[in-house]
Amino acid sequence: MRLSRPLIRPLSLLRKHCDTPPPTLPRTFSLLHTQSMATITTTMEPVSPSKTRVGWIGTGVMGRAMCAHILKAGYTVTVFTRTLSKAQPLADSGAHLAHSPAEVAAQSDVVFSIVGFPSDVRSVLLDPSSGALSTLCSGGVLVDMTTSDPSLAVEIASAASEKSCFAIDAPVSGGDRGARTASLSIFAGGDAAAVDSVSPLLNLLGKTYYMGGPGKGQFAKLANQITIASTMVGLVEGMIYAHKAQLDLGLFMNAISTGAAGSKSLDLYGGRILKRDFEPGFYVEHFIKDLGICLKECERMGISLPGLALAHQLYLSLKAHGEGKLGTQALVLALERLNNTSLESNPGSGSVCAKRSCEQFDEHNTFSGTTCSPLDNILKRIHSKGNCVEKQQIESRSELNVAFLIMENGGDDIICGSYSIMEQYERMSGGGSIMIQHHCT
């Protein structure tokens, strides 16, 4: 793979310090002249754990799991995140913590970012005093995996070029499960040689699809989001219809999964919807942001996509109801409200147990003869043969989800210490354990 750029020093992902003089050009490098403009053509070496320092900015629902794969591969990793507690598991695994994106970049050859909104991307990468580009060494590479504005990706690539660096826009699809299992689809835009050089890192996260120059990765991801938006609406509408037709939703979902109606969305979210599991693999508020960017691009292109606009409005209604921090599968709540119905009463729904307050469960953790497996740990610990305890540690996200549902539907029987239940929900989504306090009557 060869790379051309006007009058820059050779790309080296292996340089340890910015003040290190550029290496002598090997014979494979050549100096070309085009219209009196000198151009250095370099052969880029792939990254490797022994030679490449990696920076990581953003350790949210997906970012932390993605960064962990790079750590496990043996790379030296420096991490920045606004909520340091979210990065603690990475620090425990050997990552170094930094206090700013600039501090990350000063210690890195390749810097990844996966944050929330385009404004966050601009801040962590382009801020003149604290942004990563301000301290990135010549020849360094920025890899932004946030879904963001294509125009911003082009701007970042241009700014990086002025500093003799490279920028790749590489948004991903696959949600929290894809992040955990390293099976993400990565849409890469930017210089092809730069993408190829960091492919050993990208391969640790999923499969990379090169889409073209700067901004093309973002365009591909936005088209992906448009496809998902209408797919999610269709999935939830089908479930509402099947429920009103008095079909067992579990049987129905299984039946359509192998036919033409089968989809990745059904595989990822069908079961979660049935269980009333709205934990975010991807936040509603972030999906609204993505769809908003899509609509803005549609206006610029002069095209009309009514399915996209409808999905955007439905997801906005979730945010209006305070559900922006839920996962995108929570779309079912909007359709339930529109139709004055609920899938919870369906025989195929797994939510009947989670909706009951803890006082209604006996010592065997059953209700109406139904074993409530999602509640086993938390309710048995809180109600050990009727004896109340003042505090209990929630040790998994599934237990937190249970506590959230009890709080939402059962009132004040569980009080979450000094945090609101929603803050605890967000905190658990980022990892760690929390304490709840149970008030007995």
In angstroms, the CA 177 to CA 65 distance is 9
Which residues, 6 or more positions from 152, have their beta carbon under 8 angstroms from its beta carbon?
Answer: 118, 121, 122, 218
Burial of 202 (0-12, 13-18, 19+ CB in 10 A): buried
DSSP 3-state assignment of 80? strand
As a whole number of angstroms, the distance between CA 74 and CA 204 comes to 11
Both structure tokens of 389: 């305890």
Q: What are the residues whose beta carbons fall under 8 Å from the beta carbon of 193, sequence distance 6 or more?
A: 1, 2, 3, 11, 44
Alpha carbons 163 and 134: distance in angstroms, whole number:
9
Is-catalytic flag, 216?
no
Which of these, 133, 130, 121, 136, lies nearest to 171 by C-alpha position? 121
For residue 376, give the nearest of 318, 57, 368, 384 by alpha carbon: 384
Greatest CA separation for the chain: 86
**DSSP β-bridge partners for residue 14:** none
Q: What is the DSSP letter of 344?
A: G
What is the end-to-end Cα distance of the chain in Å, rounded? 71
Select from 236, 252, 235 the least CA-distant residue to 339: 236
Helix and strand element counts for the chain (H, E) = 18, 17
Per annotation, catalytic residue among 51, 72, 216, 221: 221
Q: What residues have CB less than 8 Å from 192, skipping those under 6 apart?
A: 1, 210
In contact, 228 and 220? CB cutoff 8 Å: no
- The residue length of the chain stands at 441
d(C-alpha 342, C-alpha 295), whole Å: 30
Asked whether the beta carbons of 194 and 42 are under 8 A apart, the reply is no
Q: Which residues carry out catalysis?
A: 221
